[in-house]
Every structure is written in C-alpha cells, then in structure tokens.
Amino acid sequence: MTRNAAVPRKTPVWAKVLLFLVLTLVVGGIAGGAGVAAGMFFGAAQEREVQVIRSVELEEQVVLVRSGITGLKPEREVQDINGVVIPWSDRSLLLQYEFDTMVGIDGRGVSIVPTGDKSFRVAIPDFILIGTADPEYSVVNENNGVLSFATPEIDTLQLTQELLTDDVALEHIEGLRPVLEEQARTFYTNIVTAIDPTITLEFEFAQ
C-alpha cells in the first residue's frame, strides 16, 4: 500500500506581512539608535558649551560682597551778608553714620570664551556699587552760636546722601578687590561645575 507524500503547507500571507514589519522595526531601531549615539557623540560638546555660556552670562546685577561702612562727618554752616560772616551765627554738628554696601558686577558684562576641550575663559567687568542697606545716622555733637537762629538748620538727610561720593565708592571698591575677585571665581565656578564638574575656568578681571 502506497502512502501519499506530505504536502508542505504554505505560509499564510498575514504571517509574511507580520515578519516584514517586525524586521523593519528592528532594523529601523538599530539605525535610529546608531544615529542618536552619533548625534550625542558629535553634539554633546557643543550642547555643553552652549549651556555653560548661557548659565554664566546672567542678565542681572550680581552682589558678590556686602560690606559695612562707618565713620564721622563734621558739618558747619554760618550766616553771611554780602560775603561778611555774622559772628556767633554758626551751626555745627558731628554726624556718626553706618550702613552696608552691596558691591558686585553687572552680569550683562560677563563674557565666556571656549579655550579648549572643557576649558573656558571668563571675563569679569568692572566691579560696581549696586546699593546700600541698613543705614544708621546719629548726631553725636552739635554746637550753635547765640545768633544761629538766623542760619538755616543743617539738613542731615542731604548730608547723609553726600557721604558716599563717587570717589569714596571707588576707594571702597578697590579696598575690597581681592575679596571681590575671589567671590567672583567661586560664584561662576559653582555655576559651571554644576553642569560639568570636569570643566576648568580661567578668569580675567577688568582693571
């Protein structure tokens, strides 16, 4: 008795289509992964550089040091008629003052330039007086002549506003320069190393 040979079954069309789709997704995934890896390899350094520069170039004033100023300021006024000083018409006082100054930089003037792989040069602009706070004033001594009623009283408010002249502010800032430079280094180093701890910075200060 002769047995009939087994007839091989044909693969259904739907199975072929499914296999094609699976292969397409696998190949596409491998290619896409390779593309992403290549993009990360070539673009990571540039992205890090842009991120560092944007973080450092702040669009605001940065207070680096808060420092106190204290001192004494004498003031004297007299009454005169046509250039002739009236005797005993003088008013004088000694003003004691104390306040804090906020010294720093304008962040818009900061620039950062790449100098190599993971290294940048940060240029810091002139240090500036940003503001004052916690003022305290008191008259510690006052003398008025017997005819001082003819002399206008000394305006202590105007006197306090004249304490911090441009020359005084400049001298104060120069006295703080070593501390200001160190604070600037620390401030911007902390910003950059938060992005990438392996980055090194070189600082350049305006003189």
One domain, residues 51 and 63: no
Which structural domain range is residue 80 located in?
58-205
Write down how long the chain is: 207
CA distances from 24 to 13, 29, 31, 97, 189 (A): 17, 8, 11, 80, 48
One domain, residues 34 and 95: no
One domain, residues 78 and 29: no
Q: What is the Cα–Cα distance from 95 to 135, expressed in whole angstroms?
A: 13
One domain, residues 114 and 146: yes
Would the pLDDT of 115 be above 70? Answer: yes
Amino acid at 43: G
Mean pLDDT over the full length of the chain = 77
- Answer with the one of 38, 56, 74 that is the final residue of a domain: 56
Residues in contact with 80: Cβ distance below 8 Å, sequence separation at least 6, in sequence order: 86
Please report the beta strands in the chain, taking only residues with DSSP state E, as ranges in sequence order. 61-77, 80-81, 84-85, 91-106, 111-116, 119-124, 128-144, 200-205
Exposed/middle/buried for 103, CB within 10 Å: 0-12, 13-18, 19+? buried
Q: Considering its fold, how many domains does the chain have in total?
A: 2
User: What pLDDT does residue 34 have?
Assistant: 41
User: For residue 173, is it within any domain?
Assistant: yes
Q: Is the dihedral of CA 36, 40, 41, 43 positive or negative?
A: positive
Q: Which tens digit of pLDDT belongs to each residue from 42-80?
A: 455 566 666 666 666 665 889 999 998 888 888 888 877
User: What pLDDT does residue 181 have?
Assistant: 97
Mean pLDDT for 160-173 is 84
pTM of the model: 0.65
Q: Which tens digit of pLDDT belongs to each residue from 101-113?
A: 999 999 889 988 9
